[in-house]
Structure 1
Amino acid sequence: MIVDIDRIVHDIHDAAATFLRPRFRSLEVGHVREKAPGELVTVADEECEAHLGPALLAACPGSVLVGEEEASRDSSALALLTGDSPVWLLDPLDGTAAFAAGTPDYAVMAALVVRGESVLSVIHQPEYGCTFVAERGSGAYELSSGARLRPGPAGAGAQLRGAVMRRFLPPDVAAVIERNASRFPTLEPVTKTAGVEYPAIASGHRDFMLYWRTLPWDHVPGGLLIAEAGGRAAHLDGGRYRLQERREGLLVAGSPDRWERAREELGV
């Protein structure tokens, strides 16, 4: 399947410039609400998805869209993931809590999935001016610099730099990780935005991240980025992440050896 990547990137940049950045640190009363307990949505999320979704569909005739905001309103949209049509997964504003708090750690993420395999992903960080692109079999790179993402070797004997998203952990898993926390400098996330953390791991700035909840728009774009950079994203039993399955627990690392070491040292 041939897709005009430049067009996709342009559409994502345009949506961010039109619907996200003008609202950043300018949200008004009524522009933010809870869509579920502890889960925020803003008018910017909804406007960006309403504009960018049709643009992605137009760029790939015959495709269908699974956007985070539409799926949160109507979970039946997730059934499209098991259909025969190419699927766009769209997170129009990853890191909504950060965006609402006026913190620049937010992103736009999109991935194209064909017959269950992600073939293209784009992660754009508007406030940092960085766009990360991954194509299946062609590598991962940061667009403005053209730099290929390669985490490099882990330092022998050095403590791993990583974090655990604790909010959704089962109590037994949380207890094991707490007992082993002293093996790491810290397990507190630098950010809670997948669109920031996945590129940081893929480029070697951090070694790993453990997630429990595995919503596809959060993990499919970054998962392809990690894979094409030479890293690994897999369930704790080593099983491959498949977007059609609703399995919890996903360990993401910059290389297979980091993945194995992180799992061992976390004790999970």
Structure 2
Amino acid sequence: MDKVAEILAEASAEVVEPRFRALAAGEVMEKAPGELVTVADREAEVIIARRLRELLPVPVVGEEAVAADPSLSEALHSEPAVWLVDPVDGTANFVAGRPEYAVMCSLVRTGTTVASWIWQPATATSYTAELGSGAWRDGERLVRPPAPTDARKLTGIVKSRYVTPEHRSRLEANSAAFGEVGVGRHACGIEYPDIADGHGDFALYWRTLPWDHAPGSLLITEAGGVSARLDGAPYRPEAPGCEDGLLVAADPAAWELVRSHLMAR
């Protein structure tokens, strides 16, 4: 666990942090409409992938490698073990000079996330989780306190960008049941730890790219929370293209309460 955390922090210090608020012309590209990538993303992924394979020689499914060759994501289902890597989570924030970005990694075995790591460079904070063993922030055990039982006191995030217009209207109307609902901080590597730390009670996502959600989902569940599809099925990393909705909450009671209000007709 410690070695992987070191790999992320060292790659970040080598090629990511030196470019924060210092990206040169030509170092920011658009890999898809509205989707930015930088030289920091690409260089960090190469470094992290190489060092992870030295640690455990299994396929690496990296965000930028999959952008170039989508077939690489098939390893999530065809291989007994894979590394998942998000070299710069929150690239848009990174490009804009906002400190809400992270470097993330997960180990997936037979379709289940068994370990995860989130490094937040701006605060030098490390979050780790291991299936069945717990979640930690900088080596301190994380146990998420229960959320309020009154929906009007719950705070959370609802991401509706990839939702159909009809469903979006219903989500927005139903969000009025909660105390405060925002659009989030545009980085899963910030949003999931926020919930684990008690700075928010839930988050609803729709498009769930595996490198974005595997690390935080394990962190949340190992801290005592829930990360599940809207039908109650526990989160499992899926290849890009999955848009089934994912509800993350501080505890099982909060998860049921939030789902009942958000999905009300």
When normalised by structure 2's length, the TM-score is: 0.94
Name the residue aligned to 2:212. Answer: 218
1:247 to partner: Cα distance? 4.7
Contact preservation (8 Å) 2:146, 2:250: no
Name the residue aligned to 1:53. Answer: 49
Specify the code of the residue in structure 2 equivalent to 1:161: T
SS at match of 1:196: helix
What pairs with 1:90-101 in structure 2 (closer than 5 Å)? 90-101=85-96
1:156 to partner: Cα distance? 3.7
Q: Distance in 2 between matches of 1:122 and 1:81?
A: 18
Contact preservation (8 Å) 2:177, 2:261: yes
**How many pairs does the alignment contain?**
261
What pairs with 1:229-244 in structure 2 (closer than 5 Å)? 229-244=223-238
1:160 to partner: Cα distance? 0.9
What pairs with 1:1-268 in structure 2 (closer than 5 Å)? 5-61=1-57, 63-143=58-138, 146-157=139-150, 158-244=152-238, 246-267=242-263
SS at match of 2:2: helix
Specify the code of the residue in structure 1 equivalent to 2:109: V
Q: Which runs of 5+ in 2 are unaligned?
A: none
1:102 to partner: Cα distance? 0.3
1:147 to partner: Cα distance? 2.2
Instruction: Tell me how large the CA RMSD over aligned residues is.
Output: 1.4
Q: Distance in 1 between matches of 2:194 and 2:89?
A: 15
1:141 to partner: Cα distance? 0.6
1:103 to partner: Cα distance? 0.4
SS at match of 2:182: coil
Contact preservation (8 Å) 2:113, 2:237: no
Q: Distance in 2 between matches of 1:85 and 1:60?
A: 12
Q: Distance in 1 between matches of 2:166 and 2:194?
A: 28
SS at match of 1:152: coil
Runs of 4+ in 1 over 6 A off after TM superposition: none
Percent of aligned positions that are identical: 47
Contact preservation (8 Å) 1:165, 1:192: no
Contact preservation (8 Å) 1:232, 1:253: yes
List per-residue Cα deviations over 1:136-168 (Å, max 9, x = no partner): 11100102xx32222212224352110111211
Contact preservation (8 Å) 1:64, 1:85: no
Q: Which runs of 5+ in 1 are unaligned?
A: none
1:252 to partner: Cα distance? 0.7
List per-residue Cα deviations over 1:40-69 (Å, max 9, x = no partner): 1011100100111111111113x1100000
